[in-house]
Amino acid sequence: MATVAKPTTPTRQIGAPPMVPRIAPREDLNPFRIAQIQFDMAAEFLKLDPGLRQILRTPKRVLEVSLPTKMDNGQVKVFTGYRVQHNVSRGPGKGGIRYHPNVTLDEVKALAAWMTWKTATVNVPFGGAKGGVICDPKRMSKSELERMTRRYASEILPIIGPSMDIPAPDVYTDAQTMAWIMDTYAMTIGHSAHGVVTGKPISIGGSEGRNEATARGLLYVVEEACKLKKISLRGATVAIQGFGNAGATAARLFAEKKAKIVALSDTRGGVTNSRGIDPIKAIRYKERSGTVVGMPGASRLSNDELLTMKCDILVPAALENVITLHNAEAVKARIVAEAANGPTTPHADEILARRGITVLPDILANAGGVTVSYFEWVQNQEGLMWDVDEVNARLQKIIVRAFHEMVDTMRKHHVPPRAGAMILAVGRVAEATLVRGLFP
């Protein structure tokens, strides 16, 4: 099995031509099959045994649950929820819970797999898991969301816990969602267990810095990539697709570094201004109107137009499969920094690499969230409280180290960034699996 050299400061630019197995000419947008294509590529480089490949590409456990929930009108509606644990060879399962009308089991399986590789890329002692509920949270009241969340928590309770599987926020879930899950778990087992979830409110054991951790980790990765590509972040143009927590925080952090935010978008559309958009004003406008569309001083554009506009840094921060075979040739960014999970398809990866566009892969670029979730879990387990400066310093150290380990792997195997990160991660999980052996 391949081993990764000790990190050194790389001197060459990243973005080497891809070396991946041939894939079918017709693009498959199933996220789990995409995750398996990415795994198979890494397994080929590592020359993994066929049996070990089967273990690593198959989820350990898949749970589907029915969630009868009393709605505010007195009627009962039954939602469907999932919790998938992909691999726990390196530690407890770790992964968010998303609420979205388009959640599918294959999507949750893919996200769980990506969490396995993400935690291994940054080398924190977790495995990969993920959860989801098929619902439209925008059409539900807070009380309906609470009842559904508590029912979901009670149904997945047998397989979660501080030493088993630790949920966190994801799309359309937040600190309040985690508080409900933690309380449901504690009331059921009869004692407090702060470490059962991360991303909680500070008042009940959450960590300083967790709310902006995904965006801050993204910033650290982009800073390192800019150094290698000799791009000045000061004055660099940034377009962000997806103005949720990660996208809005990233916009603010990039602006603090004097980068120029030239476009923003959400589910209803986007806005652009070549002279720059003030992210604080955009956040306030969205809080009032529910969207960035229509904010003063900016012109309207579509999400598709944002993805192909000329900029230095493109940040897809929404959902998967937004950069595909159909628009990859039109992408004009110099760096694509994946704040979302799975935004770029394998075909698009090939096209972007051929065109010299650097794709900073999700399993590193958005790993700041799980890294600070690890810090939160450690603080809960040990009864510690770190201030935000300590959290951010620890985060930067881990992210920068992981970036250079990825680049070393890229140089060793002559591959682009995603392949480098995947080879690094799969190698670590494979080694843990082999050392543990099979039971019985």
Active site residues: 130
Residue 21, class by beta-carbon neighbours within 10 Å (0-12 exposed, 13-18 middle, 19+ buried)?
A: exposed
Q: Which two tokens stand for residue 138?
A: 């925008």
* Cβ(376)–Cβ(210) below 8 Å: yes
Q: How many CA atoms lie within 13 A of 378 on its CB side?
A: 14
Residues 6+ apart with CB under 8 A from 170: 95, 96, 97, 98, 111, 130, 131, 132
Closest CA to 153 of 112, 106, 193: 193
SS3 122: coil
Count Cβ atoms below 10 Å from residue 196 Cβ, excluding itself.
28
Cis peptide before 21 (omega within 30 of 0): no
Q: Which amino acid is at 196?
A: V
SS3 85: strand
Query: In what helix (H) or strand (E) does residue 360 lie, and over which residues does it extend?
Result: strand 358-360
Q: Where are the beta strands (DSSP E) in 109-231?
A: 128-134, 165-169
Q: What is the dihedral of CA 18, 22, 27, 33, to 10 degrees?
A: -90
Do strands 165-169 and 237-241 pair parallel, antiparallel, or not at all (unpaired)? unpaired
Beta-bridge partners for 336: 314, 359
Q: Helix H segments across 241-365? A: 245-256, 279-289, 303-307, 346-354, 362-365
